Amino acid sequence: MGTKAKPVIFVASDSAGDTGEAAVRAAAVQFDPQHVEIRRVPFLHDTSDIDRLIRHVVERSGAIVFTLVLPELRDYLIQECERTGVTYIDLLGPIIRLLEHTLNQEARHEPGMIHRLDEDYFKKVEAVEFAVKYDDGRDFNGVLQADIVLVGVSRTSKTPLSMYLAHKTFKVANVPLVPEIAPPEQLFTVSRNKIVGLRIDPLKLNAIRTERLKALGLPGNATYANTERINKELEFADKIMKRIGCEVIDVSNRAVEETASLIIDLFRSR
């Protein structure tokens, strides 16, 4: 008996298809990702492109998720899906119609608008460059210029958080807290409202650091992952955070995206 072929989800778009693929992948993580094949079909321009897509989908017994903003293409694709019995989901159509009704105006129906080089794009680029420049306490002047300052011991996701928040246009500096090194004075001169402390469970940190050492080909019992050393670092970090009086978030069982969302909500509420 041959191996059963994976079901294929074709992600079709009259632009790059990023939105549709992101939505499908977000849903696919609720299953075994290896059981689903996601195939992007970007930049559909006319009905012949759609005819070609439908043939591929039928051949693979697949389904289509699409983000078409051109009404004539969207209508044609739906027509052909229904004619051939292909299962489909129109991601943007219902939302566009809802907004047209709510705003009482017609949509522009222009593909690719989300990727245009607008002001927000340049802010994002500037924020990413800032995060790289002021990562891991390379230059403490970043503390004074940042929108958000992250502090915490090593392996509390300071760098990934900085980059994630940068893509949300926040300028972020991060400062490691190490017992042997006095924290920069800038942490105590700027407003505590722009500083966020990152706390983590010692057992969780031990596991993360042990895996990190293994990945580097180093023994897992090195001082870096030593329980006594970890507790010393965490106690020191707690003292500094209390002295600053900043907001503290426990990142022990949180994904970077979840922690970032908490930070964004915190700053927007202010």
Rounded to whole angstroms, the Cα distance separating 206 from 2 reads 45
Is 62 annotated to bind a ligand? Reply is: no
Question: Whole-angstrom Cα distance, residue 125 to residue 208?
Answer: 30
Query: Which residue has 């006594």 as its token pair?
Result: 228
156 annotated ligand-binding residue: yes
Distance CA 186, CA 151 (A): 12
Instruction: Find out whether 14 and 96 touch, Cβ atoms under 8 Å.
Output: no
Tell whether 239 is in a known binding site.
Answer: no
Pick from 136, 222, 131: nearest CA to 178: 136
Say whether 259 counts as a known binding-site residue: no
Residue 252 annotated in ligand binding: no
Instruction: For Cα atoms 195, 201, 207, give the angle at the middle one, nearest 5 degrees.
Output: 120
How wide is the angle at C-alpha 238 spanned by C-alphas 205 and 128, nearest 5°? 70
* Residue 159 marked in a binding site: yes
Cite the annotated binding site for ADP by residue number: 152-159
Which residues define the annotated binding site?
A: 152-159
